[in-house]
Structure 1
Amino acid sequence: MSTANRTPWFIPVIYLGGLIFGFGLAISGMAKPEVVLDFLQFEDFGLLFVMGGAAVVTGITFAVATRHLDRAPLTGETYRRRLKSFDRNVVVGGSIFGVGWGVSGICPGAAYASVGIGNYPILWAIAGMFLGAYAQGYWRSRHSTDAESVTETPSD
């Protein structure tokens, strides 16, 4: 993303959006792992309504914005679809994310909001997220380096 096209409001709006998101998670109760675990055990479906409401607002926003605006308001970049292949990495990564969500009862965004409402033991889960992200990055850099050395042809 080019910083030349960005409006000076880009960073403040990003922080404001994160703050509103965090307050929304806290007010809705979704920053509490107990609520999420109750949802995953089919005992409380409040999370379904929170996620559904977010999906509806996001869907409408993207439908309207991509039809009526030629560029994103904050970055000045054109709207375009980012297509990703559905491969083994997506399945493995999604599975690990799902297991982590089920075990801890929290996803990354809600984990930070959970700290904001005083749930300090969740810092263990956040540390695990950072450790997992680091391990994945390390593995991926080693794996891509190994793959590159195998595909290189000798220059003799």
Structure 2
Amino acid sequence: MSFLINLALGLLFGVGLLVSGMSDPAKVLNFLDLAGTWDASLAFVMGGAVLVAFVGYRLVLARGEPIAGDRFHLPTRNDIDARILAGPALFGIGWGLGGFCPGPALTALGLGATGTLAFIPAMILGMWAARLLGEGSASPRTV
């Protein structure tokens, strides 16, 4: 049952990426080009995502336990360290250079979009390197 729930949520996420234009690197790069061909439409996508996440987290965490799992896995750390600064900075640089982040890149790969054949292996290599560098760090808190 968990597989079917995850599949349905993944398909919903992919459709949302397609409808919002997030799987089109040109649209993403135009959003980042504030001095040129700025396209503000992705700001509305982000605002909608923040609103849904805000309400969703409030409703889900009020339940006490997840529907499709035995417990919530929440981060235990709340301090700011070099990893918290470097990780998002590298993510943002990659996003700005390639016009992709992981979810839209996988969606665009399925559509045969150019650029994904270089981006996906680089993304996987980066995830592997981050995992190697992060071994031994704090584990998630169980609620």
Q: Any residues of structure 2 matched to 1:5-154 within 5 Å, and which? A: 9-42=1-34, 43-67=38-62, 69-77=63-71, 79=72, 81-84=74-77, 85-140=79-134
Residue equivalent to 2:140? none
Unaligned runs of 5+ in 1: 1-8, 145-156
Distance 1:140 1:117, change over 3 A: same
Q: Secondary structure at the match of 2:97?
A: helix
Q: Distance in 2 between matches of 1:56 and 1:83?
A: 24
The one-letter amino acid paired with 1:82 is P
The two structures, once aligned, show a CA RMSD in angstroms of 1.8
CA-to-aligned-CA distance 1:82-108 (integer Å, 9 cap, x gap): 233310011111111110010001101
Q: Report if the CA contact (8 A) 1:22-1:113 is conserved.
A: yes
Per the normalisation by structure 1, the TM-score is 0.76
Q: Report if the CA contact (8 A) 1:26-1:117 is conserved.
A: no
Aligned residues with identical type, % of pairs: 33
Count of residues in Structure 1 that have an aligned counterpart in Structure 2: 132
- Deviation of 1:125 after TM superposition, in Å, equals 0.5
Per the normalisation by structure 2, the TM-score is 0.82
Unaligned runs of 5+ in 2: 137-143
Q: Distance in 2 between matches of 1:62 and 1:14?
A: 17
